[in-house]
Amino acid sequence: MRLPWRSDPLPPEPLVSVVVPAYGVEDYLPACLDSLLAQTWQNWEAVVVDDGSPDRSGEIASSYAARDPRIRVVTVPNGGLGSARNVGAAHATGEFLGFLDSDDVLPPLALTVLVRTLVESGSDFVTGSIVRWEPTGLVEPPWMRRLHHRAIGIRIAERPELLGDVFAWNKVFRRSFWDAAGLRWPEGVRYEDQPTTTRAFMAGTFDVLPDIVYHWRIRDDGSSITQQRGSVRDLADRWETKRMAYAAVRAGHDAEVESVFVDRVLAGDLWRYFLEIPGSSDEWWTLLRDGVREFWGDRSLVHSGLPPVHRLGGWLVEQDRRADAAALMTWVATLRGPAPQTADGPGRRLDVPSEVLDVSGVDPAALALRDFEVR
């Protein structure tokens, strides 16, 4: 609608390209594409990349393309998620570029909120918050809510903790920035999101929105890569993508950003791997220990942002105390809340049962609690 005091026509909505990689998602792809059709922002194109899918994903995508010319299908031999995203980006023609995983959905206002913000701000990209499908319904992770306080046109030095927002799909990028920064998704490894989003944060100006712009499905059938952390390949890929992301941060030559990244971002997901220690293979344990020493050998995870019991677990990994780490994580699995605490002089420390761990041989710093952790 034209405003009454304007004689010039309103500019048309710019085109936003949405890349949708598809592999083995015949049960989820219709809901994903339906969520695009329901967008209030009408000027979009979807490039669905049939990544050599063994099921009906390509056929489903083609049926949607036959109904709506905004949807195109590109079929390639299977190359993995990073490769499929890169193929889709190469075929995209829009002024703006986004990514949508084919087992997830966009809420109806997602593209309107994201693209309109970029049009008004002139920033290089924009990021919004997400919700996950949980047994109780759609839930916004507290750490995502904490990260996504509104900010317009900032750089990473102003909010370095945003490096923890590693997802590809809750963002829209200005295509000219994407190309100028040489952004691509790593291929042949899992966890390809973090290196590329880290490079984007280090290179550009960005907007941060509290709005929910993405519904993330956590599959419970074991097919998600995040449900395979006990495998050597998974852990090796995790370390490799951490190396890539860390290299991008170091290239920025900002000591404060690097400190936040190492202690709070790079360490943030390790607790999930520590839970896999009981029953792990010798090869997996060695890979875990060597990676922890590589990234935190000079500083130690006792200084990280991990929860207290996982800082202790990290210290045991650093010391190659496999049996103790396994016993600790077995005990942690039985807890129904935070680990118990006990007095330690003027402060407090973790209270680990003696049958689980003899704390007399543990660095006190690995047991100590911070003021905000004391209950």
291-329 tens-digit pLDDT: 999 999 988 999 999 999 999 999 999 999 999 999 999
Give residue 295's pLDDT: 97
> What distance in Å separates the CA atoms of residue 32 and residue 34, rounded to the nearest whole number?
5
> What distance in Å separates the CA atoms of residue 172 and residue 13, rounded to the nearest whole number?
15
The amino acid at 169: W
Q: What length is written for the chain? A: 375
Give residue 298's pLDDT: 86
> What distance in Å separates the CA atoms of residue 236 and residue 190, rounded to the nearest whole number?
9
At 29-41, the pLDDT tens digits run: 999 999 999 999 9
Q: What is the mean pLDDT of the chain?
A: 94
Pairing of strands 96-99, 16-22: parallel
Chain-centre distance for alpha carbon 190: 12
At 103-157, the pLDDT tens digits run: 999 999 999 999 999 999 999 999 999 999 988 889 999 999 999 999 999 999 9
Task: State the virtual CA torsion across 216, 222, 225, 230 in degrees, nearest 10.
Answer: 130
Rounded (5°) CA angle 328-329-331: 65
At 281-292, the pLDDT tens digits run: 999 999 999 999
Residues of the chain with pLDDT > 70: what percent? 95
> What distance in Å separates the CA atoms of residue 54 and residue 287, rounded to the nearest whole number?
32
What is the three-class DSSP state of 25?
coil
Is 5 a residue whose pLDDT tops 50? no
Give residue 11's pLDDT: 62
Q: How confident is the model at residue 344 (pLDDT cuts 50, 70, 90)?
A: confident
Q: How confident is the model at residue 227 (pLDDT cuts 50, 70, 90)?
A: low
Count CB neighbours of 26 within 10 A: 17
Rounded (5°) CA angle 352-357-363: 85
Written as six digits, the tokens of 348 are: 């407090």
Angstrom distances, CA of residue 290 to CA of 118, 247, 273, 336: 42, 18, 14, 31
pTM of the model: 0.92
Domains of the chain: 16-225 (3.90.550.10), 267-373 (no CATH)
Within the chain, strands assigned E span 16-22, 44-51, 71-76, 96-99, 125-134, 137-139, 151-154, 171-174, 206-216, 341-344, 347-350
Q: How confident is the model at residue 228 (pLDDT cuts 50, 70, 90)?
A: confident
> What distance in Å separates the CA atoms of residue 24 and residue 227, rounded to the nearest whole number?
16
Residue with tokens 């590589």: 294
Look at residues 247, 296, 267, 258 and name the one whose alpha carbon lies nearest to residue 156. 258
CB contact at 8 A, 138 and 217: no
Angstrom distances, CA of residue 204 to CA of 1, 113, 174, 322: 33, 20, 10, 42
